[in-house]
């Protein structure tokens, strides 16, 4: 049986306009390619799960380009000057093209996950961040105890909660800018409005519902803002 490749045929006929465009395979794997209109070769990026055939057509692996772009391709392998027919053979080896060629949706960030879960309780969270050495930054969300007050919570004048994903796999990371991953831990800290904080709860990355409930209970509990002497 001949396996057709309509997605590949369309991309190679019209070109990808100097961008990488994706093809989903029947077995669920994905690769992207950059190709000019009617060109006989393409740049091909194979995502994890796909291995290039051990043939001359796939001998030009370009890890240098991946390094230069700061890893913008993510995990995987980039190949240059791959004959279009070799790309077609790869598609056939994996059962052809998937019937659904809609681009996959990017995973939701921790900020989106948390904000939506808290909103279901009628709670508003505010993003905050701190620049780090080397251009990196820590990011987190802040929830003020007084939910009737508009704007960012006054963290040195009223009780608040801070929440973020914590990861210590390679180096310590505090963030809400990426999707939760296995091994991450939600951390919820409660501040009293004077700069003092205590741990309210920690939960694995897939258990933010517990954190949202704990924050909702904290919101409804009476809080004492320490008095200040002038």
Average pLDDT over residues 39-56: 92
User: What is d(CA 95, CA 92) in angstroms, rounded to the nearest whole number?
Assistant: 5
pLDDT reported for residue 71: 43
pLDDT reported for residue 68: 41
Q: Would you place residue 107 in the very low, low, confident or very high pLDDT band (cuts 50, 70, 90)?
A: confident
Q: Would you place residue 18 in the very low, low, confident or very high pLDDT band (cuts 50, 70, 90)?
A: confident
Cβ contact 33:46 at 8 Å: no
State both tokens at 23.
Answer: 């093809």
Residue 94 clears pLDDT 70, i.e. is over it? yes
Cβ contact 124:143 at 8 Å: yes
Query: Residue 57 to residues 18, 41, 89, 216, 220: CA-CA distances in angstroms?
Result: 21, 10, 11, 58, 64
User: What is d(CA 104, CA 48) in angstroms, rounded to the nearest whole number?
Assistant: 15
Average pLDDT over residues 196-210: 93
Residue 67 clears pLDDT 60, i.e. is over it? no
Residue 135 clears pLDDT 80, i.e. is over it? no
Query: Residue 165 to residues 1, 188, 211: CA-CA distances in angstroms?
Result: 50, 9, 12
pLDDT in tens, 183-202: 899 999 999 998 899 999 99
Provide the β-strand partners of residue 203.
Answer: 186
> What average pLDDT does the chain have?
88
Residue with the bigger pLDDT between 171 and 87: it is: 87
Residue 170 clears pLDDT 90, i.e. is over it? no
């Amino acid at each position: 049986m001949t396996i057709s490749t309509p997605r590949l045929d369309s991309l190679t006929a019209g070109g990808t306009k100097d961008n990488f465009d994706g093809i989903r395979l029947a077995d669920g794997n994905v690769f992207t390619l950059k190709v000019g209109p009617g060109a006989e070769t393409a740049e091909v990026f194979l995502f994890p799960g796909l291995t290039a055939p051990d043939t001359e057509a796939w001998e030009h692996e370009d890890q240098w380009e991946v390094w230069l772009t700061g890893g913008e391709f993510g995990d995987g392998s980039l190949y240059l000057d791959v004959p279009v027919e070799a790309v077609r053979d790869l598609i056939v080896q994996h059962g052809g093209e998937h019937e659904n060629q809609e681009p996959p949706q990017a995973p939701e960030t921790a900020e989106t996950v948390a904000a939506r879960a808290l909103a279901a309780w009628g709670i508003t969270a505010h993003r905050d961040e701190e620049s780090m050495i080397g251009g990196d930054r820590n990011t987190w969300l802040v929830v003020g105890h007084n939910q009737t007050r508009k704007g960012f919570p006054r963290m040195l004048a009223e009780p608040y909660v801070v929440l973020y994903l914590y990861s210590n796999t390679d180096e310590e990371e505090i963030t809400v800018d990426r999707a939760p991953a296995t091994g991450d831990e939600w951390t919820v800290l409660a501040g009293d409005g004077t700069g003092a904080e205590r741990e309210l709860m920690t939960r694995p990355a897939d258990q933010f519902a517990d954190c949202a409930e704990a924050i909702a209970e904290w919101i409804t509990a009476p809080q004492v803002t320490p008095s200040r002497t002038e």
